[in-house]
Chain A
Amino acid sequence: MILEALCTPIFLIIDFFLSLIPTGVQLPSWSTDFINVITIGLSFFPNDVFVVAVANITIWSGVYLIDSIAVFVLRKIPFINIS
């Protein structure tokens, strides 16, 4: 239950970003090229290192984003003096 509660906000954020994608959208042609450029790194780096590195950067970016949103909201609450 605790782990589900911790993961649920993250999943809600993912749901939110997924909901922003319009239905039936056509990916631009450069998206394929972009993916292909990114995968060039896999020619030199092992797959696991590449995935772990990208996942780490993504997770910490998400953590700071959530922290910023939480601080922004908490600052609006009077009498608790969150600066």
Chain B
Amino acid sequence: MLLLKNRYIKFFIICFSFVCVLVVGSAPQRVSANPAVIIGGLELTAEACTVLCAGTLIAGNAILDANNGTDSKTVEYLGKSLVETGNALNYVAVNADATGKKFLSWTSDGLTWLNGKVSSMVSTGFYSPTMIVDSTGYTSFGSSSATVYNNDVSTSVVLVPSLNLITEVSLPYICIINGQTVSSVISGTRAGTNVIAIMYDPYGRSYSIGTKSPFTCFAGTGVRGDSVSISDFKIKLPVGSICSYPTGTGANQYNNTKNQDVIGGTSPIGSLGIPLSVGADGSMSVPSIPYAQPWGDIAGDFTYTPTKDIPIDTPIDTPIDTTGTIDVGKGIFSIPILGDILKLLQKILDFLLNLVKTLVTALATMITSLVVPSATFFTDKFNHFKDVAIAKLGNNNLDFLKNVGGSSLKDIYIDIFGHHVCIVKVTLYDSIRVYADGFIRAIFYFLIILFNYNQIIKFLRGSIFSDYDSRATIATAQQEDNSKRIGKHGL
């Protein structure tokens, strides 16, 4: 009885442990697979931070190759670092413009961090020397006002007259395209004719607004949309700007000719940051980079390992930036002592999960190696039998075996009184063969099942492998019967 109880207790403990491992093990796996922090109601993932970093660097004229560029992979590292260290809570913010449209943007500390990080990586050779951070738009965030601009131009291309040397701050502009507002400035000092134009790639996926001399497409601030109506494209220039309009020149002339695999043809970021997509329920999401190659194809699940010692950020212990709307409840890992304890517990859970996984994998491998025969075991055996049989019987004509299976019956005829008479018309069976085969299968398979069941019972009862041995039982019964008879006679 005690043994029986122990069995139930052991079974219950095993089941309970298994359920606990499943429940506990699945939770940290999901967290580690897609870490995120909540900022202003936005679930900010490493990919979203990567988009923000890439957009900022592209705005600074960086060219990020989607497939084989070290820069691109390192940008992914930056985005991942922002989330995993918790720096995103201080460095990234969700802001809104005057119309209420929300953007994913940097804080001033974030721009300083990105500048320092990129400068450090450029100096150590991780970034190409041309990699810079264009923070002009961000530093002017909130200071621009639509009232400054009143020179609406409803055209796709605006030519700025030559001899008008443009300085970095001399010609800010705002573009409105399909209701989406993007503002930027013409950076650098340019001579000759300059263009502010709408450009789109040959596939119509992304649209960019940029400045450059004609026929040499330069991608500046990008706007993404499923379709663009040229009539909705407006450029607002400062008061007093002198503009002229091209004639007979369409926007198609300025198609983006860059390789579609190159991230950097256009930047998804505006001066206010990356415009966020807001759902009907108020949920926000960061749009993916509008290129043919999705960002996830670059380095898979963030498995890029730098070949040099990149300075790793330590988790922040500074007060959380209160300029943005921060959901502190989801950032519990950033709380000094409690966060450390939770991280330690998470590491322990990860260790236990990996241990269980390793044990289960090893057990499955062991069972497979024990039970499953090798792939060629049966094939080799039967080929061996065939080879031996042919070697010993090969001089016989065994072709008759190939005909086994066909109907060999023929009607039986006899000759009687000079007449050839059919006395057994066996071929009549062929007319009902279709129906008879199904009936025969049903009957005989049922009988074969009964036959096997009977044979199994018979074999086990009389077998050395069974606890119940009919032969031993019969012998014991006979001995008892004999003893009784001897007893009777003895009395």
A and B assemble together:
yes
Residues of A within 8 A of B (CB): 1-4, 7, 11, 14-15, 18-19, 21-27, 32, 35-36, 39-40, 42-49, 52-53, 56, 60, 63-64, 67, 70-71, 74, 82-83
**A48–B322 alpha-carbon span in the complex (Å):** 79
Can you report 15 A-B residue pairs in the complex whose CB atoms are below 8 A from each other? Answer: A1-B370, A1-B373, A4-B374, A7-B373, A22-B392, A23-B392, A36-B400, A39-B403, A44-B436, A46-B440, A46-B441, A56-B448, A60-B455, A70-B464, A83-B472
Instruction: Return the chain A residue nearest B463 by Cβ.
Output: A67
The listed residue (A27, A48, A67) touching B396 by CB distance below 8 A is A27
CB B144 to nearest CB in A, in angstroms, measures: 76
The 4 closest A-B pairs by CB, nearest first: A43-B409, A4-B373, A43-B407, A46-B437
Instruction: Return the chain A residue nearest B374 by Cβ.
Output: A4
Question: Which one of B96-104, B162-170, B383-391 contacts A?
Answer: B383-391
Contacts of B452 in A (CB 8 A): 56, 60
The listed residue (A2, A24, A43, A47) touching B392 by CB distance below 8 A is A24
Contacts of A36 in B (CB 8 A): 400, 408
- B464→A74 contact, CB < 8 A: yes
Instruction: Return the chain B residue nearest A19 by Cβ.
Output: B388
**A11–B440 alpha-carbon span in the complex (Å):** 32
- A21→B444 contact, CB < 8 A: no
- A53→B448 contact, CB < 8 A: yes
Residues of B409-454 at the interface with A, using a CB-CB cut-off of 8 Å, are 409, 426, 429, 436-437, 440-441, 444-445, 448, 451-452
Task: Count contacts between A and B, CB distance < 8 Å.
Answer: 98
Contacts of A1 in B (CB 8 A): 369-371, 373
Residue B405 CB within 8 A of the other chain: yes
**A26–B370 alpha-carbon span in the complex (Å):** 43
- B464→A11 contact, CB < 8 A: no
Residues of B within 8 A of A (CB): 369-374, 377-378, 381, 385, 388-389, 391-393, 395-396, 400-401, 403-409, 426, 429, 436-437, 440-441, 444-445, 448, 451-452, 455, 459, 463-464, 469, 471-472, 475
- A45→B385 contact, CB < 8 A: no
Knowing A42-B405, A71-B464, say if A4 contacts B377 (CB, 8 Å). yes
Instruction: Return the chain B residue nearest A20 by Cβ.
Output: B392
Contacts of B469 in A (CB 8 A): 83
The listed residue (A23, A39, A45, A82) touching B464 by CB distance below 8 A is A82
Instruction: Return the chain A residue nearest B377 by Cβ.
Output: A4
- A52→B445 contact, CB < 8 A: yes
Knowing A1-B370, A71-B464, say if A48 contacts B441 (CB, 8 Å). yes
Q: A44-B436, A56-B452 are in contact. List 11 more A-B contacts (CB 8 A).
A: A1-B373, A36-B408, A39-B403, A40-B408, A42-B405, A42-B406, A42-B407, A43-B407, A44-B440, A46-B437, A67-B464
Contacts of B391 in A (CB 8 A): 23
Contacts of A47 in B (CB 8 A): 405
- A53→B444 contact, CB < 8 A: yes
CB B417 to nearest CB in A, in angstroms, measures: 30
CB B474 to nearest CB in A, in angstroms, measures: 10
- B371→A18 contact, CB < 8 A: no
Contacts of A15 in B (CB 8 A): 385, 388
**A49–B374 alpha-carbon span in the complex (Å):** 30
- A2→B371 contact, CB < 8 A: yes
Contacts of B459 in A (CB 8 A): 63-64, 67
**A48–B251 alpha-carbon span in the complex (Å):** 74
CB A62 to nearest CB in B, in angstroms, measures: 12
Contacts of A56 in B (CB 8 A): 448, 451-452
- A18→B408 contact, CB < 8 A: no
Contacts of B392 in A (CB 8 A): 18, 21-25
CB A76 to nearest CB in B, in angstroms, measures: 13
CB B475 to nearest CB in A, in angstroms, measures: 7
**A35–B370 alpha-carbon span in the complex (Å):** 40
Instruction: Return the chain B residue nearest A82 by Cβ.
Output: B464
Contacts of B426 in A (CB 8 A): 43
Contacts of A42 in B (CB 8 A): 404-408
**A64–B378 alpha-carbon span in the complex (Å):** 23
The listed residue (A2, A39, A53) touching B405 by CB distance below 8 A is A39
Task: Give the interface centre of A25, A39, A67 by most chain B CB atoms within 10 Å.
Answer: A39
**A70–B385 alpha-carbon span in the complex (Å):** 25
Instruction: Return the chain B residue nearest A42 by Cβ.
Output: B405
The listed residue (A2, A23, A49) touching B444 by CB distance below 8 A is A49
**A1–B373 alpha-carbon span in the complex (Å):** 6
Knowing A24-B395, A46-B437, A64-B459, say if A40 contacts B370 (CB, 8 Å). no
**A49–B442 alpha-carbon span in the complex (Å):** 10
Instruction: Return the chain A residue nearest B455 by Cβ.
Output: A60
**A32–B400 alpha-carbon span in the complex (Å):** 7
**A83–B444 alpha-carbon span in the complex (Å):** 37
Instruction: Return the chain A residue nearest B465 by Cβ.
Output: A67
**A1–B377 alpha-carbon span in the complex (Å):** 10
**A81–B372 alpha-carbon span in the complex (Å):** 35
CB A6 to nearest CB in B, in angstroms, measures: 10
